[in-house]
Structure 1
Amino acid sequence: MEHSEPRAPGLIGSLTGVVKNSLRLVLSRIELAALELSEVRRHLVELSVLFALVVLAAWFAIAFGTATLIYLAWDALGWKILLILAAVFAVIAVVLVMTIKKMILQGRLALSATMAELKADRDMLL
Protein backbone atom coordinates (compact mmCIF):
# COMPACT_ATOMS: atom_id res chain seq x y z
CA MET A 1 0.00 0.00 0.00
CA GLU A 2 1.28 3.36 -0.91
CA HIS A 3 1.03 6.22 1.51
CA SER A 4 -0.57 9.09 -0.34
CA GLU A 5 -1.03 12.70 0.58
CA PRO A 6 -4.62 13.72 1.36
CA ARG A 7 -6.08 15.44 -1.65
CA ALA A 8 -7.26 19.01 -1.45
CA PRO A 9 -11.04 19.21 -1.44
CA GLY A 10 -12.63 20.03 -4.73
CA LEU A 11 -15.35 22.52 -5.49
CA ILE A 12 -18.08 20.31 -4.00
CA GLY A 13 -16.06 19.76 -0.83
CA SER A 14 -15.39 23.48 -0.45
CA LEU A 15 -19.04 24.35 -1.01
CA THR A 16 -20.07 21.72 1.53
CA GLY A 17 -17.68 23.25 4.06
CA VAL A 18 -19.04 26.73 3.43
CA VAL A 19 -22.63 25.51 3.83
CA LYS A 20 -21.80 23.68 7.06
CA ASN A 21 -20.02 26.71 8.51
CA SER A 22 -22.87 29.00 7.46
CA LEU A 23 -25.42 26.72 9.13
CA ARG A 24 -23.33 26.61 12.31
CA LEU A 25 -23.12 30.41 12.26
CA VAL A 26 -26.88 30.77 11.78
CA LEU A 27 -27.58 28.28 14.57
CA SER A 28 -25.25 30.04 16.99
CA ARG A 29 -26.93 33.37 16.22
CA ILE A 30 -30.36 31.83 16.75
CA GLU A 31 -29.22 30.42 20.10
CA LEU A 32 -27.88 33.84 21.12
CA ALA A 33 -31.13 35.52 20.09
CA ALA A 34 -33.16 32.94 22.02
CA LEU A 35 -31.04 33.50 25.12
CA GLU A 36 -31.43 37.26 24.91
CA LEU A 37 -35.15 36.99 24.24
CA SER A 38 -35.61 34.91 27.38
CA GLU A 39 -33.72 37.57 29.32
CA VAL A 40 -35.85 40.34 27.80
CA ARG A 41 -38.99 38.35 28.60
CA ARG A 42 -37.89 37.99 32.21
CA HIS A 43 -37.26 41.74 32.43
CA LEU A 44 -40.67 42.46 30.90
CA VAL A 45 -42.42 40.21 33.43
CA GLU A 46 -40.56 41.84 36.32
CA LEU A 47 -41.34 45.29 34.97
CA SER A 48 -45.01 44.42 34.48
CA VAL A 49 -45.44 43.09 38.01
CA LEU A 50 -43.64 46.06 39.53
CA PHE A 51 -45.64 48.46 37.40
CA ALA A 52 -48.93 46.88 38.48
CA LEU A 53 -47.96 47.06 42.16
CA VAL A 54 -46.82 50.66 41.83
CA VAL A 55 -50.04 51.64 40.09
CA LEU A 56 -52.15 49.99 42.76
CA ALA A 57 -50.23 51.55 45.66
CA ALA A 58 -50.08 54.94 44.00
CA TRP A 59 -53.79 54.88 43.25
CA PHE A 60 -54.67 54.29 46.90
CA ALA A 61 -52.19 56.91 48.08
CA ILE A 62 -53.48 59.44 45.60
CA ALA A 63 -57.11 58.75 46.37
CA PHE A 64 -56.77 59.00 50.14
CA GLY A 65 -54.33 61.90 50.01
CA THR A 66 -56.51 63.83 47.63
CA ALA A 67 -59.62 63.26 49.69
CA THR A 68 -57.79 64.42 52.81
CA LEU A 69 -56.41 67.54 51.13
CA ILE A 70 -59.77 68.49 49.68
CA TYR A 71 -61.46 68.05 53.05
CA LEU A 72 -58.83 70.10 54.88
CA ALA A 73 -58.47 72.90 52.30
CA TRP A 74 -62.06 73.30 51.14
CA ASP A 75 -62.94 76.00 53.65
CA ALA A 76 -59.89 78.11 52.76
CA LEU A 77 -59.62 77.55 48.98
CA GLY A 78 -62.92 76.15 47.82
CA TRP A 79 -62.90 74.85 44.25
CA LYS A 80 -59.32 76.12 43.70
CA ILE A 81 -57.94 73.16 45.63
CA LEU A 82 -59.24 70.90 42.87
CA LEU A 83 -57.34 72.92 40.26
CA ILE A 84 -54.14 72.84 42.33
CA LEU A 85 -54.35 69.08 42.78
CA ALA A 86 -55.03 68.57 39.06
CA ALA A 87 -51.85 70.54 38.24
CA VAL A 88 -49.79 68.53 40.74
CA PHE A 89 -51.02 65.23 39.31
CA ALA A 90 -50.31 66.40 35.76
CA VAL A 91 -46.70 67.21 36.70
CA ILE A 92 -46.31 63.80 38.35
CA ALA A 93 -47.70 62.09 35.25
CA VAL A 94 -45.25 63.94 32.98
CA VAL A 95 -42.30 62.97 35.19
CA LEU A 96 -43.37 59.32 35.17
CA VAL A 97 -43.78 59.25 31.39
CA MET A 98 -40.32 60.78 30.97
CA THR A 99 -38.84 58.14 33.29
CA ILE A 100 -40.45 55.32 31.30
CA LYS A 101 -39.22 56.86 28.04
CA LYS A 102 -35.70 57.07 29.47
CA MET A 103 -35.77 53.36 30.39
CA ILE A 104 -36.85 52.42 26.88
CA LEU A 105 -34.23 54.62 25.24
CA GLN A 106 -31.49 53.08 27.39
CA GLY A 107 -32.04 49.88 25.44
CA ARG A 108 -32.96 47.61 28.32
CA LEU A 109 -35.35 45.75 26.04
CA ALA A 110 -33.03 45.60 23.04
CA LEU A 111 -31.08 42.60 21.81
CA SER A 112 -27.77 44.42 21.85
CA ALA A 113 -25.44 41.41 21.80
CA THR A 114 -27.37 39.70 19.01
CA MET A 115 -27.46 42.85 16.91
CA ALA A 116 -23.72 43.41 17.42
CA GLU A 117 -22.92 39.85 16.36
CA LEU A 118 -25.16 40.09 13.30
CA LYS A 119 -23.52 43.38 12.32
CA ALA A 120 -20.06 41.84 12.74
CA ASP A 121 -21.12 38.88 10.59
CA ARG A 122 -22.47 41.20 7.91
CA ASP A 123 -19.28 43.27 7.94
CA MET A 124 -17.13 40.14 7.71
CA LEU A 125 -19.10 38.74 4.77
CA LEU A 126 -19.23 41.99 2.81
Structure 2
Amino acid sequence: MAAVPMEEEAAPPQPGLIGSLSAVVRNTMRLLLSRLELAALELSELRNHLMQLSVVFALAMLAAWFAIAFGTATLIYLAWAALGWKILLILAVAFAVVAIGLIWYAVGLVKQGKLALHATMAELKADRDALL
Protein backbone atom coordinates (compact mmCIF):
# COMPACT_ATOMS: atom_id res chain seq x y z
CA MET A 1 0.00 0.00 0.00
CA ALA A 2 1.18 3.48 -0.79
CA ALA A 3 1.54 5.94 2.02
CA VAL A 4 -0.97 8.78 1.96
CA PRO A 5 0.58 12.18 2.75
CA MET A 6 -0.94 13.68 5.88
CA GLU A 7 -0.97 17.28 4.73
CA GLU A 8 0.68 19.21 2.00
CA GLU A 9 2.97 21.80 3.43
CA ALA A 10 2.83 25.29 1.98
CA ALA A 11 5.83 26.04 -0.15
CA PRO A 12 8.05 28.80 1.19
CA PRO A 13 7.67 32.08 -0.69
CA GLN A 14 9.95 32.35 -3.67
CA PRO A 15 12.17 35.41 -3.75
CA GLY A 16 12.12 37.72 -6.71
CA LEU A 17 9.64 38.97 -9.25
CA ILE A 18 8.03 35.60 -10.05
CA GLY A 19 7.45 34.87 -6.38
CA SER A 20 5.88 38.29 -5.82
CA LEU A 21 3.64 37.94 -8.85
CA SER A 22 2.48 34.50 -7.78
CA ALA A 23 1.71 35.87 -4.30
CA VAL A 24 -0.30 38.71 -5.84
CA VAL A 25 -2.23 36.26 -8.02
CA ARG A 26 -2.88 33.97 -5.02
CA ASN A 27 -4.09 36.89 -2.90
CA THR A 28 -6.24 38.22 -5.73
CA MET A 29 -7.86 34.82 -6.16
CA ARG A 30 -8.52 34.58 -2.41
CA LEU A 31 -10.02 38.08 -2.49
CA LEU A 32 -12.28 37.20 -5.42
CA LEU A 33 -13.35 33.98 -3.68
CA SER A 34 -14.26 35.83 -0.48
CA ARG A 35 -16.24 38.40 -2.49
CA LEU A 36 -18.07 35.65 -4.34
CA GLU A 37 -18.90 33.99 -1.02
CA LEU A 38 -20.23 37.30 0.33
CA ALA A 39 -22.33 37.82 -2.79
CA ALA A 40 -23.69 34.27 -2.57
CA LEU A 41 -24.59 34.79 1.09
CA GLU A 42 -26.35 38.08 0.36
CA LEU A 43 -28.19 36.57 -2.61
CA SER A 44 -29.45 33.67 -0.50
CA GLU A 45 -30.66 36.11 2.16
CA LEU A 46 -32.29 38.23 -0.53
CA ARG A 47 -33.99 35.15 -1.97
CA ASN A 48 -35.36 34.21 1.45
CA HIS A 49 -36.64 37.72 2.04
CA LEU A 50 -38.27 37.82 -1.39
CA MET A 51 -39.99 34.48 -0.75
CA GLN A 52 -41.33 35.72 2.60
CA LEU A 53 -42.43 38.96 0.99
CA SER A 54 -44.17 37.08 -1.81
CA VAL A 55 -46.14 34.85 0.56
CA VAL A 56 -47.15 37.73 2.82
CA PHE A 57 -48.09 39.85 -0.19
CA ALA A 58 -50.23 37.06 -1.68
CA LEU A 59 -52.09 36.53 1.59
CA ALA A 60 -52.55 40.27 2.06
CA MET A 61 -53.90 40.61 -1.46
CA LEU A 62 -56.37 37.79 -0.88
CA ALA A 63 -57.60 39.32 2.36
CA ALA A 64 -57.76 42.78 0.82
CA TRP A 65 -59.71 41.45 -2.16
CA PHE A 66 -62.36 39.92 0.10
CA ALA A 67 -62.56 43.06 2.22
CA ILE A 68 -62.92 45.29 -0.82
CA ALA A 69 -65.45 43.02 -2.50
CA PHE A 70 -67.71 42.69 0.55
CA GLY A 71 -67.32 46.36 1.48
CA THR A 72 -68.14 47.48 -2.04
CA ALA A 73 -71.15 45.19 -2.30
CA THR A 74 -72.46 46.52 1.03
CA LEU A 75 -71.89 50.13 -0.02
CA ILE A 76 -73.64 49.62 -3.34
CA TYR A 77 -76.59 47.94 -1.65
CA LEU A 78 -76.95 50.75 0.89
CA ALA A 79 -76.46 53.65 -1.54
CA TRP A 80 -78.37 52.33 -4.58
CA ALA A 81 -81.70 53.79 -3.51
CA ALA A 82 -80.24 57.30 -3.10
CA LEU A 83 -77.62 57.45 -5.90
CA GLY A 84 -78.47 54.70 -8.35
CA TRP A 85 -75.80 54.06 -10.99
CA LYS A 86 -73.73 57.04 -9.76
CA ILE A 87 -72.46 55.00 -6.81
CA LEU A 88 -70.70 52.70 -9.29
CA LEU A 89 -68.90 55.68 -10.88
CA ILE A 90 -67.89 57.06 -7.47
CA LEU A 91 -66.45 53.71 -6.41
CA ALA A 92 -64.60 53.27 -9.72
CA VAL A 93 -62.92 56.68 -9.30
CA ALA A 94 -62.06 55.94 -5.65
CA PHE A 95 -60.46 52.59 -6.53
CA ALA A 96 -58.52 54.19 -9.41
CA VAL A 97 -57.08 56.82 -7.03
CA VAL A 98 -56.07 54.12 -4.54
CA ALA A 99 -54.43 52.05 -7.31
CA ILE A 100 -52.42 55.05 -8.56
CA GLY A 101 -51.29 55.84 -5.02
CA LEU A 102 -50.12 52.25 -4.48
CA ILE A 103 -48.22 52.24 -7.77
CA TRP A 104 -46.41 55.47 -6.79
CA TYR A 105 -45.54 53.91 -3.44
CA ALA A 106 -44.13 50.77 -5.09
CA VAL A 107 -42.05 52.83 -7.52
CA GLY A 108 -40.70 54.82 -4.57
CA LEU A 109 -39.62 51.62 -2.81
CA VAL A 110 -37.79 50.42 -5.90
CA LYS A 111 -36.05 53.80 -6.30
CA GLN A 112 -34.85 53.63 -2.68
CA GLY A 113 -32.81 50.55 -3.60
CA LYS A 114 -34.43 48.08 -1.23
CA LEU A 115 -33.36 45.15 -3.43
CA ALA A 116 -29.70 46.16 -3.88
CA LEU A 117 -26.71 44.22 -2.55
CA HIS A 118 -25.23 47.02 -0.45
CA ALA A 119 -22.48 45.14 1.41
CA THR A 120 -21.24 43.32 -1.69
CA MET A 121 -21.16 46.50 -3.77
CA ALA A 122 -19.33 48.40 -1.02
CA GLU A 123 -16.69 45.68 -0.72
CA LEU A 124 -16.22 45.51 -4.49
CA LYS A 125 -15.81 49.29 -4.66
CA ALA A 126 -13.28 49.18 -1.82
CA ASP A 127 -11.37 46.43 -3.63
CA ARG A 128 -11.38 48.41 -6.86
CA ASP A 129 -10.12 51.52 -5.07
CA ALA A 130 -7.39 49.52 -3.31
CA LEU A 131 -6.22 47.94 -6.55
CA LEU A 132 -6.28 51.16 -8.55
TM-score (norm: length of structure 1): 0.89
Q: What is the root-mean-square deviation of aligned Cα atoms in Å?
A: 1.7
Q: Determine which structure has greater relative contact order: mean sequence separation of CA pairs < 8 Å that are 6+ residues apart, divided by chain length.
A: 1
Residue in 1 aligned with 2:4? Answer: none
Aligned length: 121
Residue in 1 aligned with 2:52? Answer: 46
Following superposition, the deviation at residue 8 of structure 1 comes to 7.0
Moved over 6 A (4+): none
Match status 1:114 vs 2:117: no
Residue in 2 aligned with 1:92? Answer: 98
Match status 1:57 vs 2:63: yes
Following superposition, the deviation at residue 69 of structure 1 comes to 0.7
Unaligned runs of 5+ in 2: 1-11
User: Which residue identity is paired with 1:107?
Assistant: G
Identical aligned pairs, as a percentage? 72
Unaligned runs of 5+ in 1: 1-5
CA separation of 1:124/1:34 partners in 2, compared to 1, >3 Å: closer, same or farther?
same
Following superposition, the deviation at residue 7 of structure 1 comes to 9.1
Task: Judge conservation of contact 2:13–2:19 (CA < 8 Å) in 1.
Answer: no
Following superposition, the deviation at residue 62 of structure 1 comes to 0.8
Match status 1:24 vs 2:44: no
> Out of 43, 61, 67, which is 1:37 matched to?
43
